[in-house]
Amino acid sequence: MSIPLPAGRSAVWRRRLAQFGPSGLLGLAVLGFWILAALLGPALLSRSGSQGGAAVFAPISAHHWLGTDYLGRDMLARVIEGARYTVGVALAATLLASGIGTLLALLAAASGRWIDGALSRVLDTLTAIPSKMFALLIVAGFGSSVPVLIVTAAVIYVPGAYRIGRSLAVNINAMDYVTVARTRGEGTWYVMRREILPNILGPMLADLGLRFVYVVLLLASLSFLGLGVQPPMADWGSLVRENIGALADGGASVIAPAGAIASLTIAVNLVIDNLPGRKARERGAR
């Protein structure tokens, strides 16, 4: 009885992949590449990103596929190593923001008007503060360590995740099967976990992807200003800032990390646009 399970699971994954169009498969490939680069890339490189000795701002060559940076370090190695902090920090912040936002949304929808109103007012107040100004204030006060960057980005994007989740959860909370569950005597936690959450999970996953893009761009802008990941660590935003002097000559040392940011954000959007549930909703809307 245990033998057919792997085949059944693989068939499910094949059906899901078959529902992706060419653009979605391209997005999955690029996104998978950057995730693998973040996880395994530095261990597979033949040279370290901190190893210098080559000519400064050297052009693309067989020895340096993306040229060198302002200290003569290999840019391919620097971009691959930067993926660890760009993808890792952004993913951690996004998961934290979406998780907290979804939990608060479930609580607001299932707990009653008073808690709903209080949470909405607090998070609306936080939304009124410009995101980059808020990030600059937090980083200036507490430093720009990785934990501070993760928490700062998460706090900024919790209200957005909350608003999306609450709008979905309030509609689900008014459904008949939720009323039946309450009539049976089920508590708030049961209703949140078993009745509302499964029905908002798909849209919230799509929102998580979009929020990941926002976090990547926020962290890249902070790093470009010198307030993000600090040396000897590096992310793509700091690589752009360090090598901005090569921009006038069209140097690959500044184009490569900027292109990496663009490719990651575009890939995530392509994957989101090809999610099966999203495509079905778009066909229904038409």
Q: d(Cα 180, Cα 198) in Å, to the nearest integer?
A: 17
Exposed (0-12), middle (13-18) or buried (19+): which is 217, by Cβ within 10 Å?
middle
Locate 130 and state its tokens.
């410009």
Chain segment 133-186, per-residue pLDDT in tens: 999 999 988 988 999 999 999 999 999 999 999 999 999 988 888 888 888 888
Domains along the sequence of the chain with CATH = 58-285 (1.10.3720.10)
Average pLDDT of the residues of the chain: 85
What does the pLDDT read at residue 51?
61
Per-residue pLDDT band for 5 (boundaries 50, 70, 90) equals: very low
Phi, psi for residue 74 in degrees, rounded to 5:
-65, 125
